[in-house]
Structure 1
Amino acid sequence: MTRFVVVAGAWLGAWAWDEVVSELRGAGHEVHALSLSGLAEKQGVPAGQQTHVQDIVDEIERLGLRDVVLVGHSYSGVPVGQAAERIGDRLARVVFVDANVPVDGESFLDSFPSDFIRKSLDENGGYWPPLDPADYAGQGLTDEQITRIITDGTPHPGATLSEPAVLAHPLAGLPATYVKCLLDGDELPAPVDELVASGLWELVRMDTGHWPMFSRPRELARILAESSTRS
């Protein structure tokens, strides 16, 4: 039995993991899905990136969890990677699911060409609204899944995207698996490419899009369970 804490990316809450949680619990694992401040049922709560890091650390400490596999999808890889460092020996492994990863002193928006997001934040009172339906095309999602992501998703607080990450140690020190979703492109973000090439991080590829908790929940649950057996 493995203890998982799973965190979804921008706009999403704990609800995004429902099918994966069901699969993992059905296999006998303990799973806690977490909504970050300002999102889902926590909409309206002020949040910056360090708020999200603390959300994750506080949840693990509140539940008294040890030997945790901490899972971050997309944006949440940035706070998850920082939280993984801060929980120390409570961590068994961190899994980044098609995720951004933290780089000390850099923000989520610094990690890729993001002028379109900055423009959206300016136009929407400092929040990043869910994407248009057409932006989810080609990602292995059904029309119903796209509708749910958009309808149940909440505008993402901009400060979480623009605040810099804070890391005390190199990412290479984390026991990690990176899950690359190939319909979203096969290029790994820096510095994941170097960590995988050096053999320090495990790489798993999924032939699906950027939201595998919707498009391939059973396969993703299997990958998470298998990652937990890595030393």
Structure 2
Amino acid sequence: MTEFVLVAGAWLGSWAWDGVVSELRAAGHGVHALTLSGLAEKQGVQAGQQTHVQDIVGEIERLDLRDVVLVGHSYSGIPVGQAAERIGDRLAHVVFVDSNVPADDESFLSGWPGGRAMVEASMAANGGFWAPLTEADCHGQGLTDEQIARIVGGCTPHPGATLSEPAVLARPLGGLPATYIKCLLDGAEPTDDVAELLKSEHWELVEMDTGHWPMISQPRELARILLRCAGAS
């Protein structure tokens, strides 16, 4: 039995995976959707990026999970990528869902120069937090009005320290068994750093014809891809 560990991106909690969780459990697997420190029901907890890495590693070790398919969406690809190398032989496969990927000694913000000023301005105006999504942010992403309302209603401010703290990697990510899921409504091509990683024999690219939040817009289709990743591992 595969153990899926699902980590949502900025502003979101474990609730974002509800539709995927039910599909994976129906297929007979263990599923653990994780809320990172400082978000959703864990608001008020101080968190930097390494806190989020430890959230993931700690949960896997606490539950003594093996044959883990570790899944990171958007921002959480950065802590997930670091956690994937730290859990050693517990890892079967890592899946990056339209996500950022970590680079040693680089932060989320340093890896996104085009958006850095916007995020830093939001943090300055919101007490060090990145302000939650608005309805306008979700348009054009394959979401219904109801799905947009669910995302916006569930978002909480994102701790700014997690965006500025650098990643720590002991070895290149290209050596990990990995799948990158590119959501085409959020851009037709992977970013340059992801494209470089996809040159590795251990990485594969899967495309989805939906927007940046496929766990909300196409949970069944996303679950099918994750199940295939588990089979590949």
Aligned mates of 1:154, 1:216 — CA distance in 2: 22
2:180 to 178, 181, 190: 178
Aligned mates of 1:36, 1:190 — CA distance in 2: 27
Aligned mates of 1:57, 1:195 — CA distance in 2: 23
With the length of structure 1 as denominator, give the TM-score of the two structures.
Answer: 0.98
Determine the structure 1 residue equivalent to 2:128: 126
SS at match of 1:197: coil
Aligned length: 231
1:149 to 148, 151, 158: 151
Deviations 1:137-168 (A, max 9, x none): 10001111111111111100000000000000
Deviations 1:76-123 (A, max 9, x none): 000000000100111001000000000000000111212101110011
User: 2:133, 2:155 within 8 Å by CA — same for their partners in 1?
Assistant: no
Determine the structure 2 residue equivalent to 1:3: 3
SS at match of 1:228: helix
Aligned mates of 1:67, 1:109 — CA distance in 2: 32
SS at match of 2:110: helix
Determine the structure 1 residue equivalent to 2:46: 46
Aligned mates of 1:131, 1:177 — CA distance in 2: 27
SS at match of 1:5: strand
With the length of structure 2 as denominator, give the TM-score of the two structures.
Answer: 0.97
SS at match of 1:111: coil
1:229 to 222, 228, 231: 231
Which has the higher mean CA deviation after the structures are superposed, 64-73 or 197-206?
A: 197-206
Aligned mates of 1:160, 1:23 — CA distance in 2: 30
User: 2:174, 2:200 within 8 Å by CA — same for their partners in 1?
Assistant: no
Q: How does 1:12-27 map to 2 (within 5 A)?
A: 12-27=12-27
* Structure 1 segments (4+ residues) deviating >4 Å: none
Instruction: Name the Cα RMSD after superposition.
Output: 0.9
SS at match of 1:191: helix
SS at match of 1:69: strand
Instruction: Quote how far apart the aligned CAs of 1:198 are.
Output: 4.1
Provide structure 2 residue ranges, at least 5 long, that are not aligned to the other structure.
Answer: none
1:201 to 200, 203, 210: 203
Determine the structure 2 residue equivalent to 1:140: 142
Q: 1:91 to 1:198 in 2, by over 3 A?
A: closer
